[in-house]
């Protein structure tokens, strides 16, 4: 069943009105990989009536009024991607294509979509029920943040959007608890995992430097970000408050991470794995090629790379589904009319973090003074790939499944840290789960840049390539590694890129293609480096390339592209 997106579909379901309406910058894809579909289906499972308005026209009321007004709340999201990242390249050029828009043309997602859609609702529904913003754009902009596209510190998006509530993180428990509280007329301000605006800061909450101080002083901004980052673990986090003018942004502590049974409940929901027919009239949705027959097995990441926001959005503690739940989903895929026997990906933010965690984190939370994988794999983590090996074996035996590929990135340092099962896992992957190319993400090879990125040195990369090539040859397969690399990360100079180019040529023996220019997205340490020009861990000044042409020049060193005249 699709969630209704037209009044006719509501009538078919016998629904006179909706409890919740989600408004999204993506087209409506009914998939466990899209937040609107997952949250919507979960709310329906809990007894609420939910509809979706995808990519509404913001110039008139035709789309936003299509389903009427919800009884409990509006849920507003930019979609699976921050709208500014979706609309602009790292050098601020307009992107012509959008994988989440039917037909592929980037003409349906407005800049700062969360703000645009909230304004649209306010324009045509005066005095409406609460507007709740969420998803990646709202979650990572929930405090005063550096905005690369305007090159300034912006207020919390909750203030700029003039919404009522912000649900941050993955938000399943928050959204269900919120719907129940609103339905019963109860106070919502104590619900974990949400932000709201108040005249005063909550007693016992940590006060961050105000928006005004953060905008005026880079050191104050840096101090505030470090406090914010340190209070994202549900076991240890305190509530936060940040003054904006005469009011405070209040951030309640995060929701507890879901258990395996709770993860199973979420992902056992039924999905069509298609774009809604109402929207596909405009053309094919390219994103479906990637996610239609992919299976999410876990979430969260303790890799904690400084340029990545997953640790803030999903958390530093990895949670996973049971093997039974995942295998049942594989069986369900075989009944899909489009399925041809290929599961295109099975994994999570990092493919080989399934099934093991540091046990200390469950009781004490993530360590405040060290990381799980940087500079080396922590001895307390104890990587163990045995559960994932067995999971992959069982999925390979599901009738109707011909191939199961791992398209998510793999951490090679975790493989070598697992002395008992790491090489068995790699042998299994090489023999059965590579679609010709395997993606890994070293990002760079120069030690000083890797340290700024929070990535391990290149020793594991060199060993991994040697083992991958050897095992591929033993299996009689022509298989290749593709490497994600970053140009113009804070600290990176032209000379560093030349050394990376030399490493790629002599050690990896490739001409890099998967190279991207660093984009300073909100709520990452690398963005903090970009804005302040300082290494936040040492306090030392840092070279930052800000010139768009020079950024292109760093990339061109790797790719060999000549500058356009």
- Is 305 annotated to bind a ligand? Reply is yes
Residue 369 has pLDDT above 70, yes or no: yes
Q: pLDDT category, 46, cuts 50, 70, 90? A: very high
The predicted structure's pLDDT at residue 518: 98
Distance in angstroms (rounded) separating the CA atoms of residues 247 and 289: 45
Q: Provide, rounded to the nearest whole percent, the portion of the chain with pLDDT above 70.
A: 99
Rounded to the nearest 5°, which phi and psi values hold at 453? -80, -15
The predicted structure's pLDDT at residue 562: 45
Distance in angstroms (rounded) separating the CA atoms of residues 454 and 311: 12
Residue 121 has pLDDT above 60, yes or no: yes
- Is 195 annotated to bind a ligand? Reply is no
Asked if 414 and 454 sit in the same domain, the reply is: no
Q: How many domains does the chain have?
A: 3
In a domain, 245, yes or no: no
Asked if 55 and 126 sit in the same domain, the reply is: yes
The CATH number that applies at residue 503 is 3.30.750.200
Q: Report the chain's C-alpha Rg in angstroms.
A: 23
In a domain, 287, yes or no: no
Asked if 504 and 452 sit in the same domain, the reply is: yes
Asked if 332 and 427 sit in the same domain, the reply is: yes
Distance in angstroms (rounded) separating the CA atoms of residues 20 and 25: 17
pTM confidence score: 0.96
Q: For tokens 């039917």, what's the residue?
A: 102
Asked if 393 and 499 sit in the same domain, the reply is: no
The vertex-274 CA angle with 272 and 275, nearest 5°, equals 125
Among candidate residues 163, 191, 219, the one where a domain is terminated: 191
Q: For tokens 């220019």, what's the residue?
A: 517
Asked if 442 and 431 sit in the same domain, the reply is: no
Angle, nearest 10°, between helix axes 422-432 and 459-474?
Answer: 50
Mean pLDDT of 18-25: 98
In a domain, 522, yes or no: yes
The predicted structure's pLDDT at residue 408: 87
Distance in angstroms (rounded) separating the CA atoms of residues 255 and 132: 17
Tokens of 452: 């700024």
pLDDT digits (tens, 9 = 90+) for 505-555: 999 999 887 799 999 999 999 999 999 999 999 999 999 999 999 999 999
Give which of 53, 46, 45 is closest to 69, Cα–Cα. Answer: 53
The predicted structure's pLDDT at residue 79: 97
Q: pLDDT category, 560, cuts 50, 70, 90? A: confident
- Is 372 annotated to bind a ligand? Reply is no
In a domain, 196, yes or no: no
Mean pLDDT of 340-365: 96
In a domain, 328, yes or no: yes
Asked if 16 and 141 sit in the same domain, the reply is: yes
In a domain, 102, yes or no: yes
Asked if 444 and 355 sit in the same domain, the reply is: no
Asked if 304 and 354 sit in the same domain, the reply is: yes
Mean pLDDT of 182-204: 98
Asked if 426 and 300 sit in the same domain, the reply is: yes
Residue 343 has pLDDT above 80, yes or no: yes
The CATH number that applies at residue 340 is 3.30.750.210
Cβ atoms of residues 16 and 49 within 8 Å: no
Residue 565 has pLDDT above 90, yes or no: no
The beta-strand segments (E) located in 263-402 are: 294-296, 298-299, 319-320, 342-343, 345-347
Among candidate residues 191, 226, 243, the one where a domain is terminated: 191
Task: Show the DSSP H helices in 411-565 as ranges.
Answer: 412-417, 422-432, 447-453, 459-474, 494-503, 525-532, 548-559
Asked if 166 and 120 sit in the same domain, the reply is: yes
For residues 405-442, b (16+ Cβ closer than 10 Å) or e, as one string? bbbbbbbbbbbbbbeebbeebbebbbebbbeeebbbbb
Q: pLDDT category, 176, cuts 50, 70, 90? A: very high
**Residue-number span of the structural domain to which 506 is assigned:** 437-565
Cis peptide before 176 (omega within 30 of 0): no
The CATH number that applies at residue 72 is 3.40.50.280
Asked if 86 and 97 sit in the same domain, the reply is: yes
Residue 123 has pLDDT above 70, yes or no: yes
Among candidate residues 169, 191, 213, the one where a domain is terminated: 191
Mean pLDDT of 261-273: 97
Using H for helix, E for strand and C for coil, what is the string for 353-365? HCCCCCHHHHHHC
Rounded to the nearest 5°, which phi and psi values hold at 388? -70, -35
pLDDT digits (tens, 9 = 90+) for 447-489: 999 999 999 999 999 999 999 999 999 999 999 999 999 999 9
In a domain, 1, yes or no: no
Q: pLDDT category, 561, cuts 50, 70, 90? A: low
Using H for helix, E for strand and C for coil, what is the string for 249-260? EEECCCCCCCCH
Mean pLDDT of 399-422: 96
For residues 462-500, b (16+ Cβ closer than 10 Å) or e, as one string? bebbebbeebbeeeeeebebebebbbbbbbbbeebbebb
Q: Residue 340: is it exposed, middle or buried by C-beta count within 10 angstroms (0-12/13-18/19+)? A: exposed
DSSP category for residue 88: B
Task: Show the DSSP H helices in 238-319 as ranges.
Answer: 260-267, 277-280, 288-291, 310-313
Distance in angstroms (rounded) separating the CA atoms of residues 432 and 419: 21
Cα(first)–Cα(last) distance of the chain, in Å? 53
In a domain, 454, yes or no: yes
Q: Provide, rounded to the nearest whole percent, the portion of the chain with pLDDT above 90.
A: 97
Tokens of 189: 């301000």
């Amino acid at each position: 069943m699709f969630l209704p997106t037209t009044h006719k579909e509501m009538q078919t379901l016998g629904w006179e009105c909706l409890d919740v309406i989600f408004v999204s910058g993506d087209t409506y894809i009914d998939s466990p990989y899209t937040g609107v579909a997952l949250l919507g289906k979960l709310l329906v499972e809990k007894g609420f009536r939910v509809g979706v308005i995808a990519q509404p026209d913001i110039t008139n009321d035709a789309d936003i009024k299509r389903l009427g007004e919800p009884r409990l709340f509006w849920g507003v999201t930019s979609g699976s991607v921050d709208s500014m990242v979706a609309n602009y390249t790292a050098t601020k050029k307009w992107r012509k294509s959008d994988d989440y828009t039917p037909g592929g043309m980037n003409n349906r997602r407005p800049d700062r979509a969360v703000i645009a859609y909230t304004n649209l609702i306010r324009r045509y529904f005066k005095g409406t029920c609460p507007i709740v913003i969420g998803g990646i754009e709202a979650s990572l902009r929930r405090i005063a943040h550096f905005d690369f596209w305007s090159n300034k510190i912006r207020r919390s998006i909750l203030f700029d959007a003039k919404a009522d509530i912000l649900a941050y993180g993955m938000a399943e428990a928050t959204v269900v608890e919120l719907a129940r509280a609103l339905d019963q007329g109860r106070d919502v301000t104590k619900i974990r995992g949400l932000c709201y605006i108040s005249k005063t800061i909550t007693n016992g909450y940590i006060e961050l430097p105000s928006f005004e101080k953060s905008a005026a002083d880079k050191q104050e901004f840096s101090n505030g970000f470090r406090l914010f980052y340190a209070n994202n673990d549900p076991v240890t986090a305190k509530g936060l408050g940040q003054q904006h003018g005469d009011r405070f942004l209040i951030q309640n502590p995060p929701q507890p991470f879901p258990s395996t049974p709770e993860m199973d409940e979420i992902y056992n929901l039924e999905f069509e794995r298609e774009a809604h027919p109402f929207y596909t009239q405009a053309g094919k949705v390219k994103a479906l090629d990637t996610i239609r027959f992919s299976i999410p097995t876990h979430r969260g990441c303790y890799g904690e790379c400084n340029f990545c926001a997953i640790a803030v959005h999903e958390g530093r503690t990895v949670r996973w589904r049971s093997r039974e739940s995942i295998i049942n989903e594989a069986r369900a895929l075989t009944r899909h009319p489009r399925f041809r026997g290929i599961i295109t990906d099975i994994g999570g933010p990092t493919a080989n973090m399934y099934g093991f965690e540091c046990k200390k984190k469950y009781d004490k939370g993530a360590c405040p003074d060290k990381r799980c994988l940087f500079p080396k794999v922590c001895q307390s983590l104890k990587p163990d790939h045995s559960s994932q090996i067995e999971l992959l074996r069982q999925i390979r035996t599901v009738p109707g499944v011909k191939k199961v590929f791992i398209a998510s990135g793999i951490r090679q340092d975790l493989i070598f840290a697992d002395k008992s099962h790491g090489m068995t896992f790699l042998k299994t992957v090489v023999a059965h789960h590579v679609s010709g190319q395997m993606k890994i993400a070293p990002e760079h090879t120069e030690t000083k840049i890797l340290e700024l990125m929070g990535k391990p040195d290149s020793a594991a990369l060199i060993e991994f390539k040697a083992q991958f090539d050897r095992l591929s040859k033993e299996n009689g397969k022509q298989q290749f590694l593709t490497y994600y690399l970053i140009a113009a990360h804070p600290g990176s100079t032209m000379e560093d890129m030349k050394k990376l180019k030399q490493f790629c040529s002599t050690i990896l023996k490739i001409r890099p293609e998967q190279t991207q220019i660093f984009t300073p997205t909100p709520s990452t340490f690398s963005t903090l480096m970009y804005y302040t020009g300082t290494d936040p861990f040492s306090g030392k000044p840092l070279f930052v390339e800000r010139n768009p042409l020079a950024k292109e020049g760093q990339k061109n060193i790797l790719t060999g592209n000549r500058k356009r005249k």
